[in-house]
Structure 1
Amino acid sequence: MADRDETRGLSTAARLRGGRRGLTLRMLGAELGLSTATISLALRDSPLVADATRLRVQALAAEAGYVANRSAASLRTARTNMVGVMVHDVINPYFAEIFRALEAALNERELAIMICNHADDIRRQRTFVDTLMQHRADGLIMCPAIGTDADDVARIVDSGLPFVMICREVADIAVPMVRGDDFAGGRALTRHLVAEGHRRIAFVGGRRATSAGRERHAGYVAALAEAGIEVDPLLDVPETMTQAAVREAATTLLALPSPPTALFGFNDLVASGLMSALRHAGLEPGRDVAVAGYDDTDGAAWSAPALTSVFNAAEEIGSLAASLLSAQIHGEPATPTRILIEPELRIRASTRFVPSA
């Protein structure tokens, strides 16, 4: 009883220092009413923790003499056989094809994948990255969210977590990266539409804050310039990615005084929505208006009409990314390997007509 009375006058830090066992994150969390994860993030200056909370945690840890448990930290060197894979749209069949290739290649190396859909929310992406680090994942393969900057990527690299970027690129930092050549693909598809006789070609979809969105559009612009066709801003409809937005865009385009004769969908999902919208308006894709997509996902060749699309090497991207990551996991240094895969234009019935005017 006397011992208990004596402790009442001690500060929180003093009581923690006087504990019989080593001071732990759990003990700090119990004193501050915070989770162990929050305490850990605060001690590592994570931006996911509010400034006031971070300062409060760090002040108590310093006053109480907290020292990180290096024996526990050394567990980072142990293999968990888990790899994080993060993209912005898990329902897109193109990413499903990448997942399939990744899983097959990583399973051969006795690695399993954890999938995160960050939905282009940078905060969700950062949370997942922190979770992977806390659980000592063996590596990360990521299609970066909009807003990812060089500092975000450098933080991952500096942590020592094996890392490969896919499908999108972040400016001002060089890391292992695998993606299709979006500029070349956008230009090839637009050249085909021009060769088929089209002068009014709309570009629908694509987020210009991403490398894929910018470069496919840049390829479209370059091909039009080669043909002496001026870009009409009314035919350029960026950020249109949901089916509802695609239907609205198609309605607006068809209502123009001089509507497009061809529609370039940023990906096959956008192209599919455009074909549905055309039929709803009483027009037949491939006969009344040409429609093309990108990625050449499973089923594009079997749509009605068969969809012209740019094959974007999902399986090759997945396999190469798995190899680059596996090499890092097994001790090879991460080199800024930048692999651009040449796309392949696959022409089908959806763009096989010559407009009358």
Structure 2
Amino acid sequence: MSKGRVTVIDIAHAAGVSKSTVSLVLQGSSLVNEATRAKVNAVIRDLGYVYNRSAANLRQAKSKIIGIVVNDLTNSFFAELAVGVDVVVQSAGYVQFLSNTGENIDRQREVVASMREHGISGLIVSPARGTEAGDLKPLVNSGIPVVVVVRNIPGAKVSSLVSDNHAGSAAAVEHLVSLGHRRIAFLGGFPDTAVFAERIDGYRQAMQRAGLDADGDLVVGSAPSRAGGVAAIERAMLIATRPTAALCFNDAVAFGVCDGLRTLKLEPGRDFAVVGFDDVIEAQTAVPALTTVSVDPQGMGRRAAQLLLKQINAGKVEAETLVSSVRLVVRQSCGAGLGDVGRRITA
């Protein structure tokens, strides 16, 4: 422990918690459970710490910092999203603080609390699974502008920017049907997320319009990752009447599906059609090049940053909901000809 004045770091070490958790306790936040609060307060009493609220308020004064919190930085979609944000905020004289939650709600609360301590001027967040409106309430109450991207949070009084997931899935299925496929699977994604619900709904409606069965066996959930894609295609190929094509939850899953197919001695684009969702940079250079629904992650990052700066400059928070159009980019992984081109989809 440091000599002289007791610090928040000293308390965190003694209590076995993070600095951000100690800060939440000092601020009287409802985000800390009672057992942790009691433990931290006991250490505060034992060490004789005095909370300098005026200094804390000075630290929390607005800075030229924009926070960006994403749920899975191992997915290149979010790296590209962050690049788009950075281009806009840098040109406006702001610095970006980036953090990854890895789908952990507690980690998300800690990093958001830490960003508040640094006096962020605004926050862009792709929320972790299970995030509720109440998790953003401290930010809303303090007047810090928030833009939620990719995943919406029902009831949260913040701006949101999402893609047209329903239309994107429907267009992908329609394209696969036009190529002659009748057994089309939907692979990957966590079923308890809004994005999954929207994409699976577009898939099912398009299948029904084509007079095709979208039974439960054809929908295989998994982690929205490359490893998840491998697991999903392995399960899908055990179905009695195998699928011949798949719409994947995202490009990461699609790459994993291609890996899994090759393990089974099947070639993507020739023996099995694969369509992704996102259009990350790697989709263009993959072998075969990945057919995918383009969300334009860098463009989404730029638009989210512009929306946030608009609120910061206005000095007030007025929640807006924006839905970005998407387009199907046809490449080789679905077995289509080289002459096919992408087409824009409107709601």
Q: Structure 1 unaligned runs (5+)?
A: 1-23
Q: TM (normalized to structure 1)?
A: 0.83
Residue from 204, 213, 218 that aligns with 1:230: 213
Q: Which has the larger radius of gyration?
A: 1
Query: C-alpha displacement at 1:281, in angstroms?
Result: 1.1
CA distance in 2, matches of 1:227, 1:135: 54
Give the match for residue 178 of structure 2: 195
| Distance of aligned partners of 1:282 and 1:210 in 2 relative to their CA distance in 1, 3 Å threshold | same
Amino acid at match of 2:187: V
Q: 3-state SS of the aligned residue for 1:345?
A: strand
Total equivalences in the alignment: 327
CA distance in 2, matches of 1:246, 1:255: 15
Give the match for residue 292 of structure 1: 275
| Distance of aligned partners of 1:331 and 1:302 in 2 relative to their CA distance in 1, 3 Å threshold | same
Give the match for residue 16 of structure 1: none
Q: Is the Cα–Cα contact under 8 Å of residues 229 and 255 in structure 2 kept in the other structure?
A: no
CA distance in 2, matches of 1:52, 1:279: 51
**1:58-105 deviations in whole A, cap 9, x for unaligned?**
7988xx9x78634651453342x2221111111212112111111111
Q: 3-state SS of the aligned residue for 1:351?
A: coil
Give the match for residue 15 of structure 1: none
Give the match for residue 108 of structure 1: 91
Query: C-alpha displacement at 1:146, in angstroms?
Result: 0.5
Off by >4 Å, runs of 4+ in structure 1: 24-27, 32-39, 55-61
Q: 3-state SS of the aligned residue for 2:186?
A: strand
Q: Counterparts in 2 of 1:236-255, with a 5 A limit?
A: 236-255=219-238
Q: Is 2:320 the counterpart of 1:337? A: yes
| Distance of aligned partners of 1:162 and 1:173 in 2 relative to their CA distance in 1, 3 Å threshold | closer
Q: Counterparts in 2 of 1:19-38, with a 5 A limit?
A: 26=7, 38=21
Give the match for residue 76 of structure 1: 60
Query: C-alpha displacement at 1:191, in angstroms?
Result: 1.3
Q: Is the Cα–Cα contact under 8 Å of residues 188 and 232 in structure 2 kept in the other structure?
A: no
CA distance in 2, matches of 1:206, 1:286: 22
Q: Counterparts in 2 of 1:1-357, with a 5 A limit?
A: 26=7, 38-47=21-30, 49-52=32-35, 54-55=37-38, 69-70=53-54, 72-79=56-63, 81-352=64-335
CA distance in 2, matches of 1:73, 1:25: 19
| Distance of aligned partners of 1:38 and 1:349 in 2 relative to their CA distance in 1, 3 Å threshold | closer
Q: TM (normalized to structure 2)?
A: 0.85
Query: C-alpha displacement at 1:180, in angstroms?
Result: 1.0
Query: C-alpha displacement at 1:37, in angstroms?
Result: 5.3
Q: Could you say what the CA RMSD is over the residues aligned between the two structures, in angstroms?
A: 2.8
Q: 3-state SS of the aligned residue for 2:190?
A: coil
CA distance in 2, matches of 1:275, 1:261: 13
Q: 3-state SS of the aligned residue for 1:309?
A: strand
| Distance of aligned partners of 1:347 and 1:301 in 2 relative to their CA distance in 1, 3 Å threshold | same
Deviates more, 1:306-315 or 1:247-256: 247-256
| Distance of aligned partners of 1:266 and 1:33 in 2 relative to their CA distance in 1, 3 Å threshold | closer
CA distance in 1, matches of 2:128, 2:304: 18
Query: C-alpha displacement at 1:241, in angstroms?
Result: 2.7
**1:288-341 deviations in whole A, cap 9, x for unaligned?**
111111111113123222211011021221111111222233343221111101
Amino acid at match of 2:321: R
**1:211-254 deviations in whole A, cap 9, x for unaligned?**
21111111101111111222121111113334333223222222
| Distance of aligned partners of 1:195 and 1:74 in 2 relative to their CA distance in 1, 3 Å threshold | same
| Distance of aligned partners of 1:100 and 1:33 in 2 relative to their CA distance in 1, 3 Å threshold | closer
